[in-house]
């Protein structure tokens, strides 16, 4: 007679802290939203000490993506666990490829989060960046291969005090941002208030922020649909390539990432054209880890129908544009887009 299995209570799905409720970190929230709008930008590397809510931000951005998946890659993960495995016996005996999906397959359509990415072996970082850039995972073993879609937003974090990434790997992240480890006292207090409120009752807290979170989700959705209609004009391209040259940037990756990011920012603020303010706003995200030479202070930047102090600034990630936050405790050239899953 079979022994009955114990009736363990089912674990409730983990509630994610709403991205709209995160205090401060406006630059990082904007950068993450731009990656949601155009994941081909190539992911983001977040630098900063522990305890700065990096994983909270990454989980929050997963809710803005169509797939909604959040996959946390552990430091000890093997290559097979990441890319998946092929069953050679099935291939030889049955004449067909049997593939066991890995973490890259699970992350398709969502976020792949890698904490302390600087402590991963270089070949695994290369592998992750290749998949993030191509949107495809290719597994080959003994002449047998399998390919599957792996389109995800790559979010890597690191504490520079624990070691640096090789420049070749650092350059392959589309964006690079640093979190300040010493928020102002008022911000620190509000962070603690909201965290305590969330931990006390995650459902009630999420409901209080539902309107702001829904507006953020809708803004990203509309921007994704608008993206392909935004022209990649010559004036923007010339401004970006000149400024990359002035900054002493090696290679051409920065130019392409910057153009994609400026277009995503134009879509974010609801425009059908890239303006000078879009280019200015994303410059720190693109050049922070690539700049070798500071551009001349007297260098004039040509106007493209707007300025950084015009209407562009009014919608460039100013979270106050979203619905009021509740009080808590006190020649078109289209870039690739994610195809819909069949």
Q: Is the pLDDT of residue 2 over 80?
A: no
In a domain, 257, yes or no: yes
In a domain, 197, yes or no: no
Q: How confident is the model at residue 309 (pLDDT cuts 50, 70, 90)?
A: very low
- Please measure the distance between the N-terminal and C-terminal CA atoms of the chain and give it in whole angstroms: 45
Shared-domain flag, residues 154 and 81: yes
Domain of 306, CATH number, reads 1.10.8.80
Shared-domain flag, residues 146 and 28: yes
Higher-pLDDT residue of 258 and 86 is 258
Instruction: Evaluate whether 26 touches 246 at the Cβ level (below 8 Å).
Output: no
Q: Is the pLDDT of residue 332 over 50?
A: no
Shared-domain flag, residues 257 and 166: no
Shared-domain flag, residues 52 and 135: yes
Shared-domain flag, residues 33 and 172: yes
The C-alpha atoms of residue 147 and residue 139 are separated, in whole angstroms, by 6
In a domain, 194, yes or no: no
Shared-domain flag, residues 81 and 166: yes
pLDDT digits (tens, 9 = 90+) for 33-65: 999 999 889 899 999 877 777 888 888 889 899
Q: Which domain holds residue 288?
A: 230-319
Q: Is the pLDDT of residue 219 over 70?
A: yes
193: three-class secondary structure by DSSP: helix
Torsions phi, psi of 135, nearest 5? 75, 15
Domain of 154, CATH number, reads 3.40.50.300
Shared-domain flag, residues 78 and 144: yes
Closest to 57 in 3D by CA, of 174, 237, 145, 177: 177
Shared-domain flag, residues 133 and 234: no
In a domain, 206, yes or no: no
In a domain, 171, yes or no: yes
Helices 253-268, 26-37: inter-axial angle, 10-degree rounding: 100
Shared-domain flag, residues 261 and 148: no
Tell me which of 106, 172, 253, 290 is the catalytic residue: 253
In a domain, 201, yes or no: no
pLDDT digits (tens, 9 = 90+) for 191-207: 999 999 999 999 999 99
The C-alpha atoms of residue 322 and residue 25 are separated, in whole angstroms, by 16
The C-alpha atoms of residue 57 and residue 67 are separated, in whole angstroms, by 17
Is 253 in the active site? yes
Q: How confident is the model at residue 273 (pLDDT cuts 50, 70, 90)?
A: very high
Highest mean pLDDT among 12-16, 36-40, 51-55, 89-93: 36-40
Shared-domain flag, residues 170 and 264: no
Q: Is the pTM of this model over 0.85?
A: no
In a domain, 215, yes or no: no
Q: Average per-residue pLDDT in the chain?
A: 80
In a domain, 192, yes or no: no
Q: Is the pLDDT of residue 4 over 90?
A: no
Shared-domain flag, residues 174 and 265: no
Q: What percent of the chain has pLDDT over 90?
A: 49
Shared-domain flag, residues 42 and 149: yes
The domain total for the chain is 2
């Amino acid at each position: 007679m079979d022994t009955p299995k114990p009736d363990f209570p089912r674990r409730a799905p983990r509630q994610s802290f709403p991205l709209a409720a995160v205090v401060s970190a406006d630059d990082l929230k904007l950068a993450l939203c731009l990656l949601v709008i155009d994941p081909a930008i190539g992911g983001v590397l977040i630098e900063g000490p522990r305890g700065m809510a990096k994983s909270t931000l990454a989980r929050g951005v997963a809710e803005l993506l169509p797939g909604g998946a959040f996959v946390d890659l552990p430091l000890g993960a093997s290559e097979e666990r990441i890319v998946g495995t092929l069953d050679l016996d099935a291939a030889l005996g049955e004449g067909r490829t049997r593939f066991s999906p890995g973490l890259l397959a699970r992350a398709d359509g969502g976020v792949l989060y890698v904490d302390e990415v600087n402590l991963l072996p270089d070949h695994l970082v290369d592998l992750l960046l290749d998949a993030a850039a191509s949107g495809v995972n290719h597994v080959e073993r003994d002449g047998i291969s399998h390919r599957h879609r792996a389109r995800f937003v790559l979010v890597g974090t690191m504490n520079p005090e624990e070691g640096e990434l090789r420049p070749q790997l650092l350059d392959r992240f589309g964006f690079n941002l640093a979190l300040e480890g010493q928020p102002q006292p008022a911000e620190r207090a509000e962070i603690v208030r909201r965290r305590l409120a969330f931990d006390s009752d995650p459902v009630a807290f999420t409901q209080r922020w539902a309107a702001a979170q829904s507006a953020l989700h809708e803004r990203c959705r509309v921007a994704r649909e608008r993206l392909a209609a935004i022209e990649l004009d010559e004036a923007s391209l010339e401004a970006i390539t000149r400024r990359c040259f002035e900054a002493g940037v090696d290679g051409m990756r920065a130019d392409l990432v910057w153009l994609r990011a400026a277009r995503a920012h134009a879509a974010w603020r609801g425009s059908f054209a890239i303006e000078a303010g879009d280019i200015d706003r994303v410059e720190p995200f693109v050049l922070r880890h690539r700049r070798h030479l500071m551009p001349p202070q007297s260098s004039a930047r040509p106007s493209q129908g707007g300025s950084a102090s015009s209407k562009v600034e009014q919608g460039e990630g100013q979270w106050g544009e979203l619905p009021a936050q509740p009080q808590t405790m006190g020649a078109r050239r289209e870039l690739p887009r994610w195809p819909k899953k069949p």
